[in-house]
């Protein structure tokens, strides 16, 4: 479709002039791709595989190539949801589904910052399309394709598991989503085969990713406390994630119980929102944790919206979608109170270059405990010939860096410690070897470089 192609092309042009540094998670995903495996510390492996493939084919690890798949993948997702809209409703709904999706705020953000949500999106949407086809044709090949794509979605992000309760609920209320027991078995088998390598990896690595997921679901380990402000904050954030008009349309769609087509889409959309809202009530939740609700939700919103409201939704979401990449091009402007609006995405590479220069001059490894600093040191410092260490795990690793590059137990030389407070190695606070000229996200954080013996940082673990 012309709208999807134009939006995707425009995003790639903006991305070519993007002035922000890779965010901590983006740098980590890139690093995963340098060490191919069937699983990683906090996520399944597909994003690492994808970034390795793209950067190898491009012959470059520049931020453009790390982020480039985002716009393409969301464009594909828009087209798939258009195909789903055509099957469920009409060609008109198909056009609006694609146009609405490609302008959604979370899609705009996911087109400038690569994330696991973005990699999951096309496979999640494809699985919905194949499931609906299987409900109509009852053909085993559609069920097989649904299981394979659902498995790939799961290998991108575990939130794809919401497909299972969503399909079960949709089948209960809408005949179009009933694929039959034989096809359910075929889809389940295909799904299991695709995710098996990651399951085995987890079982042979102390359930690393599962443990991290449980850490995110804080109330599982620490007990639940009702946090109504957190729940309200999460619910409010969804109007920003999905767009205000489209979110209202989605809620109206949930109440449109008389139409079986809308009922089915509603049931496919509801599980992520209910689960994450409950998580926000019991502990806390990030705004993007319920993104899986908005694939079926986009088609439902397109069916609910009428005439002028469709245009209003596109206009509001489109303005947000345009402003996000525009800000990345204008960075470090505009500013508020003397700080860039996008300061969280600025200053990482500059800090890393200062640290790497100091380490090379002193001919010592770098030691840091901050995950964001470590992430960019590995990315910006690729090929610099500087060794980077993270703290040794106390009970279990708190990051991918502690898991893979902990300070060796037998290392007794000097280190360039990066910290925001002076270490005490037994004779009082150590004076910094150099103050770091920090900008962006690190401005006013007080980070400095300290030359210390390994025993000093080892004693602080």
Closest CA to 144 of 156, 159, 134, 129: 134
CB 314 within 8 A of CB 181: no
User: How does residue 427 score in pLDDT terms, banded at 50, 70 and 90?
Assistant: confident
pTM value > 0.85: yes
User: How does residue 222 score in pLDDT terms, banded at 50, 70 and 90?
Assistant: low
CB 370 within 8 A of CB 397: no
CA distances from 382 to 29, 285, 379 (A): 14, 34, 6
- What average pLDDT does the structure give for the chain? 93
pLDDT at 460 over 90: no
CB 239 within 8 A of CB 126: no
- Number of residues that make up the chain: 461
pLDDT (tens digit, 9 = 90+) per residue, 99-156? 999 999 999 999 999 999 999 999 999 999 999 999 999 999 999 999 999 999 999 9
pLDDT (tens digit, 9 = 90+) per residue, 44-101? 999 999 999 999 999 999 999 999 999 999 999 999 999 999 999 999 999 999 999 9
416/453 Cα distance (integer angstroms): 9
- 383 conformational bin, left if phi > 0, alpha if psi -120 to 50, beta if neither: left
Instruction: Provide the token pair at 157.
Output: 């992000």
Neighbours of 357 (CB within 10 A): 13
Distance of CA 344 to the CA centre of its chain: 16
- For residues 194 and 258, the model is more confident at 194
Residue owning tokens 């319920």: 290
| Number of continuous H segments (helices) and E segments (strands) in the chain | 21, 7
For the chain, give every domain's residue range. Answer: 2-330, 347-460
């Amino acid at each position: 479709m012309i709208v999807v192609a134009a939006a995707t092309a425009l995003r790639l042009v903006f991305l070519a002039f993007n002035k922000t540094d890779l965010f901590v998670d983006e740098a980590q995903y890139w690093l995963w791709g340098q060490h191919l495996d069937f699983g990683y510390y906090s996520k399944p492996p597909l994003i690492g595989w994808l970034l390795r493939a793209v950067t190898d084919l491009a012959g470059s690890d520049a931020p453009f190539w790390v982020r480039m798949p985002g716009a393409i993948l969301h464009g594909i997702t828009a087209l798939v949801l258009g195909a789903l809209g055509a099957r469920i409703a009409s060609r008109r709904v198909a056009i609006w589904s694609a146009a609405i999706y490609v302008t959604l705020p979370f899609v705009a953000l996911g087109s400038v910052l690569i994330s696991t949500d973005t990699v999951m999106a096309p496979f999640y949407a494809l699985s919905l399309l194949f499931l609906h086809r299987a409900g109509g044709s009852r053909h085993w090949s559609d069920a097989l394709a649904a299981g394979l794509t659902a498995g790939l979605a799961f290998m991108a992000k575990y939130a794809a598991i919401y497909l299972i309760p969503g399909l079960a609920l949709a089948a209960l209320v809408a005949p179009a989503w009933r694929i039959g027991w034989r096809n359910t078995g075929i889809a389940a088998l295909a799904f299991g085969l695709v995710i098996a390598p990651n399951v085995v990896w987890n079982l042979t690595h102390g359930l690393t990713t599962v443990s991290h997921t449980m850490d995110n679901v804080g109330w599982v380990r620490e007990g639940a406390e009702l946090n109504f402000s957190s729940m309200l904050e999460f619910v409010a954030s969804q109007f920003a994630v999905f767009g205000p008009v489209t979110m209202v349309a989605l809620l109206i769609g949930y109440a449109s119980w008389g139409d079986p087509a809308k009922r089915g889409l509603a049931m496919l959309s509801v599980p992520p929102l209910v689960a994450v809202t409950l998580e926000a009530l019991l502990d806390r939740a990030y705004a993007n944790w319920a993104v899986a609700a908005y694939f079926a939700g986009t088609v439902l919103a397109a069916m609910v919206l009428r005439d002028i409201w469709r245009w209003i939704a596109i206009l509001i979401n489109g303005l947000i979608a345009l402003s996000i990449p525009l800000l990345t091009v204008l960075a470090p402007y505009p500013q508020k109170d003397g700080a860039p609006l996008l300061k969280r995405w600025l200053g990482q590479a500059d800090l890393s270059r200062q640290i790497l220069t100091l380490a090379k001059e002193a001919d010592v490894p770098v030691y840091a405990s901050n995950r964001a600093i470590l992430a960019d040191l590995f990315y910006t410092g690729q090929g610099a010939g500087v060794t980077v260490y993270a703290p040794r795990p106390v009970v279990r690793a708190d990051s991918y860096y502690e898991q893979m590059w902990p300070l060796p137990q037998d290392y007794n030389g000097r280190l360039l410690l990066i910290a925001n407070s002076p270490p005490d190695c037994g004779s009082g606070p150590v004076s910094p070897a150099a103050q770091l000229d920090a900008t962006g996200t690190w401005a006013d954080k007080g980070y400095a470089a300290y030359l210390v013996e390994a025993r000093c940082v080892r004693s602080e673990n």
